[in-house]
Amino acid sequence: MFQYIVRRILLFIPTLFLITVISFGISRLAPGDPAELKAGVGGEGAMRGNQQLNEQMINQIRAQWHLDKPVWYWTLFSDEKDASGKLKPLSDRLTFKWNGTNNQYQYWLSDLLRLDFGKSFQDNRDVLEKIWERVPITTFLSVISIFLSYIIAIPLGIYSATHQNSRLDKISTVGVFILYSLPSFWLATMAIIFFGGGDFFAWFPNNGLHSMNISPGDPWMTRTLDYFWHLVLPVAAYTYGSFAYLARQMRGSMLEVIRQDYIRTARAKGLSNKMVVYKHALRNSLIPIITIIAYILPSLISGSVIVETIFTIPGVGQLAFQALTARDYPVIMAEFTLSAVLTLLGLLLADILYSVVDPRIAFSKKSS
Amino acid sequence: MAKDKEKILLDAAEREEQSKAKSRKEVNQSFWSLVRHQFKKNKIALAALYVVFFLFTIAILADFLANDRPIMAKYNGTLYFPIFKDYLVGVGLDRWDADLVTADWKELDQQGKLSSTIWPPIKWRSSNQDLVNNTAPPGGNHLLGTDAIGRDVLAGMIHGSRIALSIGFLSMSVAILIGVILGALAGFYGGWVDILISRLIELVITFPTFFLIITVVAMFQAGSIWLVMILIGLTSWPAIARFTRGEFLRVRNMEYVAAATALGLSNRRVIFRHVLPNSLAPVLVTSAFGIAGAILTEAALSFLGFGVPPTIVTWGSVLNDARGNISAWWLAVFPGFAIFISVLAYNLVGDGLRDALDPRLRD
């Protein structure tokens, strides 16, 4: 078991490496000079108009960020120029030059390993700090959403499976399938338009987490109620997708288990239906359901980009969206890398959970 | 009494004959006709398939359903088919007369210069701006209203179906191409090829796909449909590769493959003519779900304002406009419904196909 986990972790290293390369590669291939972007945003006002000073500053930033160094460990094409100052054709420039560790990627990676994601282009604040202060809200939303989807999906799935082809089963199967295909960004937009104060009902607030007229001096109860009132629509938009997926899986898994021989045995020895379902079938049917949490986890991050943007909730997803529209490279790269790491952790968690809840799975031998 | 007995016997014989005929028929059925038969029994999946056909028809006929030019019109004594002619001009086979190059056909019609005209049902193209009617609610000139700069929503829906379908199909073609080739290589050759490709599959599966696509698209700000298609294709092939690999592993050791090899056929012929056709079923199911996923991803990207350039109207971009104006409910209801219906239809078709291909569910 321990050996297995260690091996899984070791297997993640090449994936992680590739993800850092992709993240780095995107930021370098993207149009626009990061140093100019940085100078343009950081040096509002005073720097404008002074060409020489600007250039000086850009060069300074370049040196400081190692942008004047080669990009990668080796160079395949030199930037030799012909007499007129134009680059020679690619075929003439093909060389192989080893640059050693004094390259941009190496610097970026070693910063990354020290959890130093650099500073945001937008406000020059530490990227990790910016992300970190938004983590609680996104986590809170995710936890509520996961909790709710499990608490509704499991009983519904059990009922559907044990009462297969009953009217409620048919209704819930169709309903769940429809929910599953409903795009969350549509449902969220519709919720705002119809319940969030458009021309229809103004039942719920449509943005933020606090009302304007609520101050920190108000009683605790009022503030909490206001907070949860703001959460109703985002949580609903956040939850229904994973709920629908879970309910489908739960029904399928339960249906498969109650057809097993040992369930027939349990029934044959005269156990009550309740006993058979909840004591014998439920445990095994929960195995795939528990491990799904690991797949839901990373999807919540990408989901948060949409939901938090729509409802203007100051979470990690909204930060990602803002960074993407402002082309704030350091923040984007940090968010990308972190979400990749979370995806990997989720998969690892799934493997470990599998081994914990299902002793039938063997790890030492290859199963095939 | 005796008559009754005779009747019973006759009935029994008839039944037997019938069941024999039935089983003979079933034996003669090919795999795919069996699948078709099985699929047709699933009424919901069949209905979904009709929805898919319907969407296809709309996408193909989009120019004839919503256009600012008539399908047929007589002008100065000459009969024109402006939409057809546009196609020909587009490929360089024809040329507009000087006075008609920038002609506004609607104006000509109003001035009474056209006769025997046939107009498309919707007289707007998705990019046309109705300057006097922006953010107009449904009704009047615009059946489903207009967006903030006066573009007709219904025309946007009709032309948007083209974008949605081409995103779905082209990105899945990219995914199928990569997935089937890699999966086939891994499954057929095994050994270190298999190990290498399996690692690659594992690697790409663990990518945070949506975030990767949105990052790349946002970074290369000159968004294009092609970039979105290729990115979706490049990230969704692992599922197909996995299934193909599994099928190849299964089929590889079957007798007919051994027979084909013993006949001296080349590996390529064995793969393409014998193994591949028998391994395509799960690929089909995965692609149906993949198309739904691709349409959803593109819509989400356009909704967030990334992806296709703003001049192109897609279902997601119309929905995006609704965010800026929460009173314009028609900008949210219709495009979202279009996205939802197509995603649901492809998911249902995928579900139906999977059930139809599952021998355990056959009766």
What average pLDDT score do residues A241-259 get? 89
B210 pLDDT above the threshold of 50: yes
Q: Is B319 on the interface with A (CB under 8 A)?
A: yes
Q: Is the pLDDT of residue A48 over 60?
A: no
Q: What is the pLDDT, as a whole number, of residue A44? A: 45
- Least CB-CB distance to B206: which of A320, A332, A344? A344
pLDDT attached to residue A40: 59
Tokens of A214: 């609520």
Residue A47's pLDDT band (boundaries 50, 70, 90)?
Answer: very low
Between residues B74 and A199, the one the model is more confident about: B74
CA-based nearest residue in chain A for residue B318: A186
What's the pLDDT score for residue A45?
44
Contact A332 B215 (CB under 8 A): yes
CB atoms within 10 A of CB B278: 15
Most confident of A106-120, B45-59, B74-88, B295-309: B45-59
What one-character DSSP code corresponds to residue B272? I
Q: Mean pLDDT throughout A21-39?
A: 73
d(CA B353, CA A303): 29
The whole-number pLDDT of residue B58 equals 93
Inter-residue contact B29 to B342 (CB < 8 Å):
no
**Predicted complex: ipTM over 0.95:** no
Nearest to B282 by CA among B234, B235, B250, B258: B250
Q: At what angle do helices B330-357 and A184-195 cross, to 10 degrees?
A: 150
Which amino acid would we find at residue B334? Answer: F
pLDDT in tens, B1-24: 455 665 666 566 666 666 655 555
Cβ-contact A69, A102 below 8 angstroms: yes
> A153-157, B223-227, B343-347: which range is least confident on average?
B223-227
Of the ranges A46-55, A165-174, B127-136, which one carries the lowest mean pLDDT score?
A46-55
Task: Give the highest mean pLDDT range of B27-31, B62-66, B120-124, B322-326.
Answer: B62-66
pLDDT, tens digit, 9 for 90 and up, residues B171-183: 999 999 999 999 9
- Distance separating alpha carbons of residues A67 and A82, to the nearest angstrom: 24
Other CB atoms within 10 A of residue B80 CB: 22
* Chain A neighbors of B310, CB-CB under 8 A: none
pLDDT at A368: 38
Cβ atoms of residues A258 and A161 within 8 Å: yes
- A100-123 in b/e form (b: 16+ CB < 10 A) is eeebbbbebbeebeeeebbbbbbe
Write out the two tokens for A294. Answer: 């690991």
Nearest to B210 among A22, A302, A335 (CB): A302
With contact defined as beta carbons under 8 Å apart, do A251 and A164 qualify? no
Which string of b and e fits A69-89 if b means at least 16 CB within 10 Å? ebbeeebeeeeeeeeeeeeee
Question: How many contacts does A have with B, using Cβ atoms within 8 A?
Answer: 122
- Split at pLDDT 50, 70, 90, the class of A42 is very low
Q: Does B300 touch chain A (CB under 8 A)?
A: yes
Report the pLDDT value the prediction gives residue A367, as an integer from 0 to 100: 42
pLDDT at A263 over 70: yes
Work out the average pLDDT over B52-72: 89
Q: A9-23, A77-91, B28-42, B268-282: which range is least confident on average?
A: A77-91
Residue B136 near chain A (CB below 8 Å): no
Chain B residue with minimum CA distance to A333: B215
pLDDT value at position B182? 93
Instruction: Compute φ and ψ for A196, nearest 5 degrees.
Output: -110, 30
The label of the residue with tokens 């050994």 reads B191
Give the nearest partner residue to A15 out of B206, B210, B336, using CB atoms.
B206
Place of tokens 């109703």: A232
CA A324/CA B301 separation, integer angstroms? 12
Distance CA B18, CA B220 (A): 66
Q: Which residues pair with B80 in a beta bridge?
A: B73
| B322 closest CB neighbour out of A177, A193, A325 | A193
pLDDT attached to residue B158 = 92
Question: Which pLDDT does position B20 carry in this prediction?
Answer: 57
Task: Output the pTM of the full model.
Answer: 0.83
pLDDT at residue number A156: 93
Question: Measured between beta carbons, which residues in chain B are less than 8 angstroms from residue A26?
Answer: 215-216, 219
> pLDDT value at position B255?
84
How many other CB atoms sit within 10 Å of the CB of residue A170? 13
- Map tokens 């299902």 to a residue: A358
Nearest in space to B126 (alpha carbons), one of B62, B53, B58, B57: B62
Q: How far apart are CA B215 and CA A305, in angstroms?
A: 12
Residues composing chain A? 368
Concatenated DSSP letters of A2-71: HHHHHHHHHHHHHHHHHHHHHHHHHHHHSSS-HHHHHHHHHTTTTTTT-HHHHHHHHHHHHHHTTTTS-S
Residue B242, both tokens: 């996995």
Dmax (CA) for chain B in angstroms is 94
Residue A347 C-alpha, separation from nearest chain B C-alpha, in angstroms: 8
Residue A366's pLDDT is 45
